[in-house]
Amino acid sequence: MNSPQSQDPIVSEQTNISADPLQNERVLVLDFGSQFAQLIARRVRDQNVYCEIVRHDIPAESVIARKPAAMIFSGGPSSVYDQGAPKCDPKLFELGIPILGICYGMQLTAQSLGGAVQACPAREYGRARLSISNMEKLFAGFPSEIDVWMSHGDQVQKLPEGFETLAGTTTCPHAAVKHHALPIYGIQFHPEVSHTALGGTLIHNFLYNVVGCQGRWHLSNFADQTISQMRQRIGSDRVICGLSGGVDSSVTAALLYKAIGPQLTCILIDNGLLRKDEQSAVIREFTDHFQADLRVVDAGDRFMSALSGIRDPQEKRRRIGHAFIECFKEESLKINGAKYLAQGTLYPDVIESGAAPDGPAATIKLHHNVGGLPEQLGFDLVEPLRDLFKDEVRKLGLELGLPEHLVWRHPFPGPGLAVRCLGEVTRAKLDVLREADEILITEIRNANLYRETSQAFVVLLESQSVGVMGDSRTYENAVAVRCVNTDDFMTADWSRLPYDLLALVSTRIINEVRGVNRVCYDISSKPPATIEWE
């Protein structure tokens, strides 16, 4: 999971967790290339159980050294019978450590123990109705039927000796299985995604009913460990932290300030791609809640020059990332002893950039924090939030004493409005986008729905459309309003905002933002869409 320049506070081999409660309740997630491997770990941490992601081919000896309470085998994009498909050390099944195999993890477990896996007649993707025939430990407290989320092209056709079926669907008879005597379970569906009903309860049942965990890990433990690790790693050197005003960079700054105090210098790069009045808001928030050194760099011209004529979204991100790092390099020369660059990178940024630990998840996007960095930065990266999801970062921010209005601010992408301005980015288009976005957020706040939505923003489309204003025909810009609800930002559903609110937003944007004559509402979920358009 680590980039060559960074150390991961949770997953790194150098992580030193010596507290007995964590040693006694450590769960290892073996990553077979799933987009959701870290989401599994996040669901485990929801149950107050410490979790690490490790290589799928981790040797049994290394597992024994870590003394895990359980192992979870993730899903993955491969077929277990393909040449070169990821495998695990077969000795893992002889250790007596409880195992939960999910999707590919279940298929690999079955194949490794003598069962048969074959391709389905048709790939199954989406909701399915699961009928539970055995309400033992894994399904304790469940109704007889629930909706689950499937995503597979293969399934177990023949169970290994000693296994029994716990649940099935009309197309997948062995959708949940267990060994008669060993603590080995397999499920074909994905309990880690929000689309599976009672998925968190199933993971809870595995951890508490099967494994016997007691739930001793909390985000306060993470904060204490991370502060200690940062202090030890940084020593007497200085750290520069990119501050954007969002919760990610603010929590990163708060953690580092607690760790190293005056050795921290925060830098706001005004790249010309910020929201309306963003610079003044960041300075105000920073002055109110931090005592560290803050420097503001006006770099709008540099970024706009770098983006001139560029339409491809990935190239936009690359150029923004390059300009971002160059600005930090130049500013760092003015700060004596600056050795580290801190960034508020979260795991969804990492997983969607294809930078997962050892089994490549498909690259969905480049993120300038993780995907476009030059090989020689001139300083080392510090990414203390790299293993956390957005909701965990918010909880951590509250633990650190940050105000609720800052902690619950909607996310804003690192590349800024450039990825919400489709096609070439120009100052005129950015001005349109800022005004429209400000209207949307203002009206959502006025309706007391800001906390009810996870992320809301406006996208300026490339296409123009015919309209009528007054007695004149117009041919102007169309914008899309995007509002989603989510717990983790790995999956999301579109927000069912009241029609009256949508009508008000549309009317205000068309009437008040010059150059816009059409407003659309995005009703796609993630997956298959992403939250941002680029």
Tell me the DSSP string of 317-330: HHHHHHHHHHHHHH
Q: Are residues 268 and 290 in the same domain?
A: yes
Q: What is the mean pLDDT of residues 428-454?
A: 96
Give pLDDT tens digits for 140-174: 999 999 999 998 888 999 999 999 999 999 889 99
Ramachandran assignment for 489, one of left (phi > 0), alpha (psi -120 to 50 degrees), beta (any other) = left
Residue 170 shares a structural domain with residue 275: no
Tell whether 233 and 308 lie within a shared domain.
yes
Percent of the chain as helix, strand, coil, to the nearest 5:
35, 25, 40
Answer whether 107's CB lies under 8 Å from 156's CB: yes
| Unique residue bearing structure tokens 């906390």 | 451
Residue 531 in any domain: the answer is no
User: How many structural domains are present in the chain?
Assistant: 3
One of 190, 204, 367, 368 is an active-site residue; which one? 190
Q: What is the CATH number of the domain that holds 436?
A: 3.30.300.10
pLDDT digits over 356-390, tens only? 443 334 454 444 454 444 445 677 888 999 878 78
Whether residue 13 is contained in a domain is answered as: no
Are the CB atoms for 311 and 426 separated by under 8 Å?
Answer: no
Question: Do 482 and 469 meet the contact criterion of CB atoms below 8 Å apart?
Answer: no
Q: How far is 377 from 240, CA to CA, in rounded Å?
A: 13
The CATH number covering residue 382 comes to 3.40.50.620
Closest C-alpha among 276, 269, 273, 247 to residue 416? 273
Is 190 marked active-site? yes
Domain boundary among 165, 181, 211: 211
Pair 158, 265 in one domain: no
User: Strand order in 116-132's β-sheet?
Assistant: 51-55, 27-31, 70-73, 99-102, 184-187, 176-179, 163-168, 116-132, 145-158
Confidence of residue 528 (pLDDT cuts 50, 70, 90): confident
Regarding whether 236 and 153 lie in a shared domain, the answer is no
What confidence tens digit (pLDDT) does each residue in 411-427 have?
888 889 999 999 999 99
Q: Are both 385 and 502 inside the same structural domain?
A: no
Domain residue limits at 186:
26-211
pLDDT of 348 reads 66
Strands 145-158 and 70-73: unpaired
Statement to judge: residues 107 and 37 lie in one domain? yes
Supply 250's token pair.
Answer: 């603010």
Catalytic annotation, pick one of 52, 192, 285, 435: 192
Calculate mean pLDDT across residues 82-102. 95
Residue where a domain stops, chosen among 159, 177, 211: 211
Which pLDDT belongs to residue 193? Answer: 87
C-alpha to C-alpha distance for 366 and 34, rounded to whole angstroms? 18
H or E segment at 107? helix 104-112
Domain contains 376: yes
Residue 473 belongs to a domain: yes
Q: What are phi and psi of 395, to 5 degrees?
A: -60, -40
Are 473 and 366 part of one and the same domain?
Answer: no
Indicate whether 521 pLDDT > 90: yes
In a domain, residue 527? The reply is no
Q: Are residues 391 and 492 in the same domain?
A: no
Q: Check which CATH number belongs to the domain holding 82 and give it.
A: 3.40.50.880
Inter-residue contact 411 to 397 (CB < 8 Å): no
Bigger pLDDT: 481 vs 266? 481
Decide: residue 42, CB within 10 A, 0-12 exposed, 13-18 middle, 19+ buried: buried
Of residues 88, 103, 266, 327, which has the active-site annotation?
103
Final residue before a domain boundary, out of 184, 211, 238: 211
- Considering the domain boundaries, does residue 457 fall inside one? yes
pTM summary value: 0.67
Looking at the fold, whether 346 and 460 belong to one and the same domain comes out as no
* Least confidently predicted of 9-18, 165-174, 300-309, 434-443: 9-18
Tally the C-alpha atoms within 13 A of residue 109's C-alpha that lie toward its C-beta.
32
Task: Report helix angle 499-512 to 427-446, nearest 10.
Answer: 150
Position 21 confidence tier, pLDDT thresholds 50, 70, 90: very low
Q: Are residues 183 and 246 in the same domain?
A: no
Kindly tell me the burial class for residue 331, based on how many C-beta atoms sit within 10 Å of its own C-beta (0-12, 13-18, 19 or more). Answer: middle
Q: Which among 191, 100, 198 is positioned nearest to 143, based on CA atoms? A: 198
The Cα–Cα gap between 1 and 56 comes to 13
Kindly tell me if the per-residue pLDDT of 475 is higher than 60. Answer: yes
Contacts of 288 (CB under 8 A, 6+ apart): none
What is d(CA 483, CA 441) in angstroms, rounded to the nearest whole number? 10
CB 378 within 8 A of CB 240: no
**461: in domain:** yes
Q: What does the pLDDT look like over 28-37, one tens digit per residue?
A: 999 998 878 8
Same domain, 175 and 296: no
Percent of the chain having pLDDT more than 90? 56
Q: Would you say residue 433 lies in a domain?
A: yes
* Partners of residue 55 on adjacent β-strands: 31
* Alpha-carbon dihedral angle through residues 37, 42, 43, 47, given to the nearest 10 degrees: 140
